[in-house]
Chains A and B, each alone.
Chain A
Amino acid sequence: NAGVTQTPKFQVLKTGQSMTLQCAQDMNHNSMYWYRQDPGMGLRLIYYSASEGTTDKGEVPNGYNVSRLNKREFSLRLESAAPSQTSVYFCASSDPPLTYEQYFGPGTRLTVT
């Protein structure tokens, strides 16, 4: 039982390049989330998915797209990376109303030069 896994762990991109961050959970949770963490700003919600086939914008969605591929997997795509997207990205899952606890992955540290 691995919980929430994320790949890659680290990534360096040049401005304008694209990439996809992968997330998978093995807890059979319906809800999944993508956050970014920046110094002094806490964690901010980028996108979330309440169930397979649905996605919604969070607090800071600009510059990102998401795909809920199936119940297990939720990917985050940067189409044209910008230095302002340098951050640590966390994926999380939960299963309300059974559990409101969000389980977080280990994060992806992304640097855009």
Chain B
Amino acid sequence: QQQVKQSPQSLIVQKGGIPIINCAYENTAFDYFPWYQQFPGKGPALLIAIRPDVSEKKEGRFTISFNKSAKQFSLHIMDSQPGDSATYFCAASLESYGGATNKLIFGTGTLLAVQP
């Protein structure tokens, strides 16, 4: 019930394409859903995050779509560029409202390659 399932494991798109990465969760108590981006040899960095009271959030070329009833959320990258080539992780967290800490449960990651 604590798992976050992420797919696909890897993805190759052409420059300008719209890669979509999907995640599903079981625990309805999760209340914070971030996406992290990781380049080789670096630590993950927050890309965008959403809470379950909204169905979509957009920041620049990155959009999260959230479906509370299906317990699924996805990341869309508009007009993808070779510089977006990285590993993307979805995550979910409990106790985020007023909690002293937010323990993240990560998906298994998606390796994205954007070809020029």
A residues with CB within 8 A of B: 4, 30-31, 33, 35, 40-45, 48, 50-51, 58-59, 90, 92, 94, 96-97, 100-102, 104-107
Chain B window 18-39, contacts with chain A (Cβ cutoff 8 Å), 1 for yes, 0 for no: 0000000000000010100000
Q: Cβ of A100 and Cβ of B106 under 8 Å apart?
A: no
In the assembly, what is the distance between CA of A43 and CA of B108, in Å? 7
- Chain B's interface size range is 20 to 34
Q: Cβ of B100 and Cβ of A31 under 8 Å apart?
A: yes
In the assembly, what is the distance between CA of A96 and CA of B32, in Å? 12
B residues with CB within 8 A of A: 2, 6, 9, 32, 34, 41-46, 49, 89, 93, 96-109
In the assembly, what is the distance between CA of A44 and CA of B3, in Å? 11
A-B contact pairs, 16 of them (CB 8 A): A31-B102, A35-B106, A41-B108, A42-B89, A43-B106, A48-B101, A48-B103, A51-B100, A58-B103, A90-B44, A94-B101, A100-B102, A101-B49, A104-B43, A105-B43, A106-B41
Q: Cβ of B44 and Cβ of A104 under 8 Å apart?
A: yes
Within the complex, which residue of B2, B101, B109 is in contact with A42, where a contact is CB–CB below 8 Å? B109
Tell me how many residue pairs across A and B have CB atoms closer than 8 Å: 71
Within the complex, which residue of B32, B41, B106 is in contact with A44, where a contact is CB–CB below 8 Å? B106
Chain A binding surface SS class: strand
* Chain A residues in 8 Å Cβ range of B106: 35, 42-44
* Chain A residues in 8 Å Cβ range of B45: 104
Contact A102-B49, Cβ < 8 Å, known A43-B44, A43-B89, A96-B96: no
CB distance from B40 to the nearest CB of A (A): 11
* Chain A residues in 8 Å Cβ range of B96: 96-97, 100
Contact A90-B43, Cβ < 8 Å, known A42-B109, A101-B49: yes
